[in-house]
A and B are shown apart, each in its own frame.
Chain A
Amino acid sequence: MLTVIIRAIIIFVVLLVVIRMMGKRQIGEMEPFELTITLVIAELACIPMADKSVPLTFGIVSILTMYVVHQLIILLTRRSKKLQNVLSGTPVIVIDKNGIKYQALKSMNMQVYDLLQAMRTAGYFSVDEVAYAVFETNGQLSVIPYPKTKQVNEDEVALPVPVLVDGEWSPQDLKYYSLEKSFLEEALSRNGVRAEELLLVTIDDNGKMLIHPKDKKYFVVNIGGEVHYG
């Protein structure tokens, strides 16, 4: 047991030193190859920690090898943009002034929900607040918002809820906010669109409805006090 304790402490110290040497990139936003190395290092550390039949040197050598690989990749990607693109990918514009770029999302195997979640994490709850949004290679969403033209009163603050995503109604969101689907369908029909043609529909407490067709710019209608909550 004492052997295991000492081995665990040694491996921990080695890990700490190596992660520090790799720099803050490993702690913060990670590129795909950095995530891979971090996951592998974690596995490599565990094996000799717990298995006494594996020499400690095997674990330490493996961890140090990952450090060397990490430094080599950083050096090569600094010199070659092509290699950087291969290993890390390229930033992708997912929202522009026309709204959500659906094909760009699909090319990244992402759903609209993933984009909405990333937007909320970045502090933006509605597509019409965002002029441009870029998914960086480390998975972070960078946003250029539209400038706020007027002060919003406390009464006007509302949470837009995605009630339709990628042509399908979201029963949980409809139910949660007690919204009637039939009423919303009627509102869409009045605006000359059908659910199947739409990428996103959000609605908030103030009756502001954002309608985003799949291949056209979004538009906002105000169904005001007519919002029917079931």
Chain B
Amino acid sequence: MVKQIVAAAVIFLLLVGLGLTEMFVVRDNFSALEKEFTEMAVKIQEKTLTEEEYNLIWEDWKKRRETVEFFLNHTDFAEMDFRMAECHAYIKQGNYQDAAAQADVLTELTRHIPHLLIPTPEHIL
């Protein structure tokens, strides 16, 4: 009996810890990404962003994705992958107008995805 209570308590603490870790890891990574995408959006508006600079941002997203993949629904970051790829294509073509639209969407996604993890009644229901 005591063994089972202890096992349940340990698992409960692990679950809570995992939940908190998820919130912090996702929030920290997406906060950094939001900053990067915001700066990227400014450069796109100024039409000064080069393909090499964009590739650096893209590589950074790919590295961070390896970490958050563990916690997030795959469709969430699949959307970011598609937007990143599309934005890259526009940058390459010199189409800064459409790239700016993609950059706005990407910035919004970096806010939206971690926000959904907060356990509010609206998100739970």
Contact = CB atoms under 8 A, between A and B. Distances in A.
Contacts, number: 41
A71 B15 contact: no
A68 B7 CA distance: 9
A53 B75 contact: yes
Interface size on A, as a range, is 10 to 19
A132 to B, nearest CB: 32
Contact of A61 (B18, B69, B74, B78): B18
B8 interface: yes
Nearest to B6: A71
Secondary structure at the A interface, as helix, strand, loop or mixed, is helix
Contacts of A52: 74
A53 B71 CA distance: 12
B4 interface: yes
Interface string A136-174: 000000000000000000000000000000000000000
A53 B74 contact: yes
Contacts of A53: 73-75, 78
Secondary structure at the B interface, as helix, strand, loop or mixed, is helix
B5 A55 contact: no
B69 A55 contact: yes
Interface in B11-30: 11-12, 14-15, 18-19
Interface string A70-94: 0110110000000000000000000
B105 interface: no
A194 to B, nearest CB: 56
B4 A71 contact: yes
A21 B7 CA distance: 9
Interface string A43-62: 00000000011110110010
Given A55-B74, A68-B12, 11 more contacts: A21-B7, A54-B74, A55-B69, A57-B18, A58-B73, A61-B15, A65-B15, A68-B8, A68-B15, A72-B8, A75-B8
Interface of A: 21, 23, 52-55, 57-58, 61, 64-65, 67-68, 71-72, 74-75
Interface of B: 4-5, 7-8, 11-12, 14-15, 18-19, 69-75, 78
